[in-house]
Amino acid sequence: MKTDTMRTFWKRPGRSRVSLPLLILMAYVVLAVAGSLIAPQNPYDPLQIYAWESSSSPGTAGSGGYTYLLGTDGLGRDIFSTVLYGLRISLFVAFTSTALAAFIGVTAGVTAAYAGKLGDALIMRIVDLQLSLPTILVALIAIVTLGPGIDRIILALVIVQWATYARVTRGVAMSEASKSYLDAAHLLRLPARRIIFRHLLPNSIAPAITLVPIELGHAVALEATLSFLGLGVPIDKPSLGSAVANGFQYLLTGQYWISLFPGLALFGLIASINFVGEDVRRRLDPRSR
Amino acid sequence: MVSAIIGRLSQAFLLLLVMSVIGFIGIHSVGNPVFNLVNAEAATPEDIRRATVALGLDQPVWHQYFRFIGNVLTGNFGTSYIYHLPAFQLVMGKLPATLELAIVAMMIAAPTGVLLGLLAGRRKDKPVDWAILRLSVIALSIPSFWLSMMLILIGAILTGWFPSGGRGPTGTLLGTEWSFLTLDGLRQLTLPALALALPNIALIARLTRSGTIEVETQDFTRFCQAKGLSPRRILFRHTLPNISIPIVTIIGMQFGGMLAFAVVVESIFNWPGVGKLLIDSIQLLDRPVVMATLTFISIAFVALNALVDLFYVVLDPRTRHSA
Amino acid sequence: MQFMRKFRQPLLALALATVLSPGLAATTVMADELRIGTQLKLMTLDPHYADLNENNALLAHIYERLVRQDEHLSPQPALAVSWKRLAPTQWEFKLREGVKFHDGSPFTAQDVIYSIERVRDFLKPPSGGFQSYTKPIKSVTAPDPMIIVIETDGEAPTLPLQMTTLFILPHKTSGFATSEELNSGAKPNGTGPYKFAGWQSGERLTLASNPDYWGGAPAWSDVTFRVIENPAARVAALTTGDVDLADYIPARDVENLKQRNIKIESTSASRSNFLQFDIASETHPGITDKSGKTIANPFRDSRVRQALTMATDRPFITEKILSGYGTAASQIFPPGLSGTSDKLKVTPPDYDGAKALLAEAGYPEGFNVVLAGPGGRYPGDAESLQSVAQNWARIGVTVQPVVSPFSVFMTKRSSGEYPLWYGGCSGEAVTLCLDGVLASQNEALGTGSLNYGRYENKTFDQMLIKAKAMEDGPGRSEALASATEFVMADYPTIPLYHFHLIVGHSQKVGSYTVHPRGWTMAMQAAPPTE
């Protein structure tokens, strides 16, 4: 079974509904949710950390009665535990921001399509404005303005991402809005909110859904990058990105494990999301075959 | 055509204005830069207060902003709090380092990406195609900061082939110092350029692949094949010219993106370019430099995109009519 | 003058002799090029702009001062050959003959007057880093081209020490050079052992030997400073041979470097790091009881401060976190330096005693407190906060460590957001830190500038004022020491450690003497003896 998935992964898309990347992604989610049960240490609790065992190499036995499977970082935190807890933060930030961005973006796109010339111009100007800058730059400006913290980084990611959804959705909604059933709805004098949410939205949402996995991958990567640059989540509660950042200075002196393992976890996460995203896109868009 | 350019310019202007307000207030709220330019272990609160007044940081933020805008309109971004040099001059001084990094990265990425893309496109659905597609997703999944670190680990620490960071000795060309003119400089350039190139190889390969598939399924290619033209001739005389437009577009746009993404790569490789200047200045709260850098990167990005569009119009007669 | 004999090493004398004595140096002219990887990010070529180690260390190659501070922090002749106190408010400095600036013009009293006046009268904030040294100077006159008389407003028993801060610039025929002029335009022109060859601000400074230096040509023909801010990158550059010498080496890398044939030199820095309490506030939102309610500020009770001091494991920080490259602190300046006490000792943690004392003060259950500090500013800063949090948890005090970038931390600290924080003090003498950290805030006297928690101890203030007015010598040192002992008995701060400055160098450098002020200078490095 497993080798089968492995083979199809590298060759053609199989007929099976469960692909290897999806399995991995599901494993990630499970690990993130159950992380605190599996992790031998709570890396956020100073009382559970033995500072003098900092920078221990993988496999060293620790004072807490467990082995540092993946070693410890410069502050003595168990890397394995840090990865599990960091995974939770990374996924939480990515899921929350993507969901919020998708909701806001789709709503804005549909509203633009429905609201007539002025509203459309207003919303789409902002969208154009934002999309004419590299995302990393928008994210940097946003996070510098908002300051550090998990809530802030979610907000920054929403600011970065909503525009893409808005543009895509508006395009579909425009063509949808010109269809006759909406004229009928107008004639029936249904309230605008009802027309938008009951008719326009459900019919324009498909392209936004294909965007979700791609943007989810972006969100994970962006959060990690911002945290790496020291502008993201606070250092005492590291996400995967800040865990990698913490290990950067040790990397040059040979303590590779501090940044290698969180980095691998991060890479695996983004890769599995991106592969799942590709599958989704391929299934929904037969032309890309 | 003219109205399109005016529209674009006014949009760019609006963009800069909005960005300047946000960036300005953002940095203002983080902290007082004075602590980075006095000896905090000796300065009296009075010293700090006087320095704050001297930099105008005691004024309400709106006053400061309007003074800043006034100065910018006369071409003056202010003087760096930290380096005591005109901010814009400082940014320009770091530009060659970033440019050469981006150019070398693109010189690696464009040919490699096009080659892989053609290979995949012409062997559509064959193992080669799937492998290249899968690898491209993997390449695009590696966060650029981690990729940079792994390149340092492998290329510098474990093997010692390349230096772990910094920019090498420079040579002079056109009155500017470039490090790619010296052998040591090139060695130092290799790892950061690779870090910047890899995701772009993947992007360009994917684009070239889909372009190739589209062109090769079109009627005229089938006609050529029917005529008995050699596959090589079809590739070079028909396919390549037809997919060159989207490829040039993506190269142009990615070049702008590289300027922005250099922020990450430069700070890891300790590469003294515009991106590292931006991150350093954000951390030191050196607002004039942050504003000058942000403005510069945005203008460069918007201008590049405009150039690409222009190129598109010149190259492709169809868009000329519709515009 | 009795100074820290402890730090004297045989190597030191040798290094000094090689670099500074004209006779010996002549045999080692143009030895080679020295490449230094430094943390010190030189940002200006104006030596009067800011009193930062960056400027003081790197520009000392080009410019010189009247008086030089050696590795024991004692004043040594530089551009002035001797000095004497003419009256309580009057000092005379005799200038060195035959000194030439790099452009060939002779060094005279005019240059000294120009430099002092430039700092005192011309430079405007934010470039006022040295003004605290020139503020008390009433007038500078030159009765003779090679003699300077400085008149001060009040008594200045340590004026020569203050003159170790100020670089001498060549005078201009009219007006003063602006910082912009010095930064761009003309080459910096000093009297130092090395001439300016080129720089890229914040990246690189290149220097060439000054063969006409009054102390004889320096040991290295060319010196390049490469700014490598990331400590790990600096270590990597040293191991790969990209640089011959690197400063501010993290203690954790020392073993690794030694194995790679890198020589390590270190010395205790003339500074300390400590925990400081907010003592003025009645309550603080950062101090709560176990249910999260704000309580009356416990730090106003000296028993609480004592208990927390007793529960702080300082040897752990120096041994484990700083890998032995630090001295556990019991006072504000490293013991052994002039004016420090040799009676104050670091005691091992006593958790039971501390818990009892805390109960006696009315906190048997302990309390919750926010402990703030900068991250990556000093060796072991963030790690110490964590270690303290673990220590205090054992007596029921729950610490929430908050680590921020330095400027953010400072902004919040000065706006009173923290009840307890990690601070540091450094300077050319112990009085600077006693004045700054422990004396009451008093703008007229210029004391208490770092006393952000507004600790007040009137008896100590008086003792300090009396000691400072004394002539430099053993009597003054003793008075300062007993004032320190008196104030530390009230636990105004929790002294943590004096970290050591660590420099590593390859075999290309024969020996290096670390300067306790943290100045990385080519003059401290001697080529290998054949």
Which amino acid, A47?
L
- Closest-approach residue (CA) in chain A for B254: A134
- Do the Cβ atoms of A267 and B140 come within 8 Å? no
pLDDT per residue, tens digit, chain C (530 aa), is: 333 333 333 333 334 333 333 333 333 334 588 999 999 888 888 888 888 888 889 999 999 999 998 888 888 999 999 999 888 889 999 999 999 999 999 999 999 999 999 988 888 777 767 888 888 889 999 999 999 999 988 888 888 888 888 999 999 888 888 887 887 767 889 999 999 998 887 788 999 999 999 988 898 999 999 988 878 788 888 888 889 999 999 888 888 889 888 999 999 888 999 999 999 999 999 999 988 899 999 999 999 999 999 999 999 899 888 889 999 999 999 988 888 898 899 989 999 999 999 999 999 999 999 999 987 788 888 889 888 988 898 899 999 888 877 877 888 888 888 999 999 998 888 888 999 899 998 888 878 888 989 999 999 999 999 998 888 888 889 999 999 999 999 999 999 999 999 999 999 999 999 998 889 999 999 988 76
- Which of C232, C233, C321 has the CB atom closest to A51's CB atom? C321
> What is each CA distance from C60 to C14, C27, C394, C525, C526, in whole angstroms?
21, 23, 48, 14, 17
- The pLDDT of residue C100 is 92
pTM of the model: 0.80
Both structure tokens of A167: 């543009």
Distance from CA of A158 to the nearest CA of B (A): 16
**Closest partner CB to A250 (pick from C232, C320, C390):** C232
Cβ contact C183–B85 (<8 Å): yes
Contact C92, C84 (CB under 8 A): yes
**Are A252 and C233 in contact (CB < 8 Å)?**
yes
Q: How far is A47 from chain C (nearest CA, A)?
A: 5
Residues 6+ apart with CB under 8 A from C160: C66, C67, C75, C83, C91, C93
- Amino acid, single-letter form, for residue C434: L
Asked if A249 lies within 8 A of C256 by C-beta distance, the reply is no
B contact test, residue of A122, A126, A137 with most B CBs within 10 A: A137
Give CA torsion, residues C251, C256, C261, C264, to 10 deg. 10
b/e C337-357 (16+ beta carbons within 10 angstroms → b) = bbbbbeebebeebeeeebbeb
- Mutation site, B34, B36, B39, B178, interface C, largest C CB count within 10 A: B39
Q: Which range among A187-196, A222-231, B235-244, C95-104 has the greatest average pLDDT? A: C95-104
**B279 in A contact zone (CB under 8 Å):** yes
Angle, helix B183-216 to helix B144-152, in steps of 10 degrees: 130
Q: Is the dihedral of CA B156, B160, B164, B169 positive or negative?
A: negative
CA triplet A212, A263, A76: central angle to 5 degrees? 130
Residue A212 phi, psi dihedral angles, 5° rounding: -55, -50
* Residue to substitute from C377, C411, C441, interface B, most B β-carbons within 10 A: C411
Residues in chain B closer than 8 A to A224 (CB atoms)? 143, 145-146
Find out whether A5 and A15 touch, Cβ atoms under 8 Å: no
Contact residues for B247 (Cβ-Cβ < 8 A; gap 6+): B110, B114, B204, B207, B208, B211
**Sign of the CA dihedral with A4 first, then A8, A13, and A19 last:** positive
Question: What residues of chain B lie within 8 A of the CB of C222, using their CB?
Answer: none
Predicted confidence (pLDDT) per residue in A241-264, tens digit? 888 887 887 777 778 888 888 889
Q: Which of A64, A31, A29, A61 is nearest to A45 (CA)?
A: A64
**pLDDT band for position A180 (50/70/90)?**
low
Residues B45 and B38: their CA atoms lie apart, in Å, by: 11
Interchain contact B131–A (C-beta under 8 A): yes
Task: Extract the tokens encoding A87.
Answer: 């995974």
Q: Is B6 on the interface with C (CB under 8 A)?
A: no
Alpha-carbon distance A195 to C226, whole Å?
65
What pLDDT is recorded for position C4?
37
The reply to whether residue B31 touches residue C408, judged by beta carbons under 8 angstroms, is yes
Contact A235, A242 (CB under 8 A): yes
Q: Which residues pair with C283 in a beta bridge?
A: C296
Packed helices B127-141 and A257-284: angle between N→C axes, nearest 10 degrees: 130
From CA C473, how far away is CA C481, in angstroms rounded?
13
| Cβ-Cβ contacts under 8 Å for C394 (sequence gap 6 or more) | C311, C351, C355
What letter would DSSP give residue C120? I
Q: Chain A contacts of C250, Cβ < 8 Å?
A: 249
Using only the alpha carbons of chain C, give its radius of gyration.
24
Restricting to A residues 143-182, those with a Cβ less than 8 Å away from any Cβ of B are 144-147
Check A270 against B282: CB less than 8 A apart: no
Which chain A positions have a beta carbon within 8 Å of B149's beta carbon? 244, 248, 251, 259, 263
Q: Do A249 and C236 touch (CB under 8 A)?
A: no
A6 near B CB under 8 A:
no
CA distances from A192 to A105, A119, A145, A179, A181 (A): 18, 14, 35, 16, 14
Residue C475 and residue C136: Cα distance in Å, rounded? Answer: 24
Going by the DSSP 8-state scheme, the letter that residue C317 receives in this structure is: I
Reference B187, options B169, B171, B212; nearest CA is B169
Cα separation of A75 and C282, whole Å? 34
The highest-confidence range among B54-63, B176-185, C2-11, C64-73, by mean pLDDT, is C64-73
CB C73 within 8 A of CB C337: yes
Closest-CA residue in chain A for C234? Answer: A252
State whether C125 and B39 contact (CB < 8 Å): no
pLDDT tens-digit map of A73-87: 877 788 898 889 989
Contact B53 C125 (CB under 8 A): yes
- Cα–Cα dist C127/C174, whole Å: 21
Give the per-residue pLDDT at A285: 62
- Nearest-Cα residue of chain A relative to residue B20: A141
DSSP secondary structure string for all residues of C357-368: HHHHTT-TT--E
Question: What span, in angstroms and rounded, lies between the C-alpha atoms of B63 and C519?
Answer: 40
Q: Which of C42, C43, C180, C433 to mutate to test the interface with B (most CBs of B within 10 A)?
A: C43
Tally C-beta pairs within 8 A across A and C: 58
The overall longest dimension of chain C from CA atoms, in Å, is: 74
Among A20, A228, A269, most B C-beta atoms within 10 A, so best to mutate, is A228
Query: Roughly what angle, to the nearest 10 degrees, separates helices B144-152 and A240-251?
Result: 20
Q: Does B90 touch chain C (CB under 8 A)?
A: yes
Q: Compute the average pLDDT of residues B250-257.
A: 78
Those chains having 3 or more beta-carbon pairs within 8 angstroms of chain C are: A, B
Chain B residue nearest residue A254, CA to CA = B157
CA atoms within 13 A on the CB side of C461: 14
CA angle A37, A38, A43 (to 5 degrees): 85
Residue from the list C235, C316, C399 with its beta carbon closest to the beta carbon of A253: C235
Nearest to C411 among B32, B44, B81 (CB): B32
CB C225 within 8 Å of CB C68:
no
B143 contacts A136? CB cut-off 8 A? no
Query: Are A54 and C235 a contacting pair at CB < 8 A?
Result: no
C10: CB partners within 8 A, 6+ apart: none
Contact B33 C203 (CB under 8 A): no
Interface of C with B in 194-253 (CB under 8 A): 200-203, 226, 228-230, 233, 236-237, 240, 242
**Quick one: tokens of C19?**
């670099």
| Partner residue opposite A229 with nearest CB, options B11, B140, B279 | B279
Work out the minimum CA distance from B236 to partner chain A, whole angstroms: 24
Please say if the pLDDT value at position B223 is more than 60: yes
Task: Give C-chain residues touching B33 at CB under 8 angstroms.
Answer: 407
What's the pLDDT score for residue C41?
86
What is the DSSP-derived secondary structure letter of residue C524? Answer: G
Counts for chain A of helices (H) and strands (E), in that order: 12, 2
CB C262 within 8 A of CB C391: no
Chains linked to A by 3 or more Cβ pairs within 8 Å:
B, C
Give B147 or A144, the one with higher predicted confidence: B147
Q: How far is B15 from chain A (nearest CA, A)?
A: 6
B301: nearest Cα among A121, A130, A219, A229: A130
Chain C CA closest to residue B159:
C240
CA–CA separation, A81 vs A43, rounded Å?
6
Choose among C154, C27, C48: nearest CA to C526: C27
Q: What is the pLDDT of residue B2?
A: 66
* Contact call for B35 and C406, based on CB within 8 A: yes
Q: Categorize the per-residue pLDDT at B318 as very low, low, confident or very high, splitting at 50, 70 and 90.
A: low
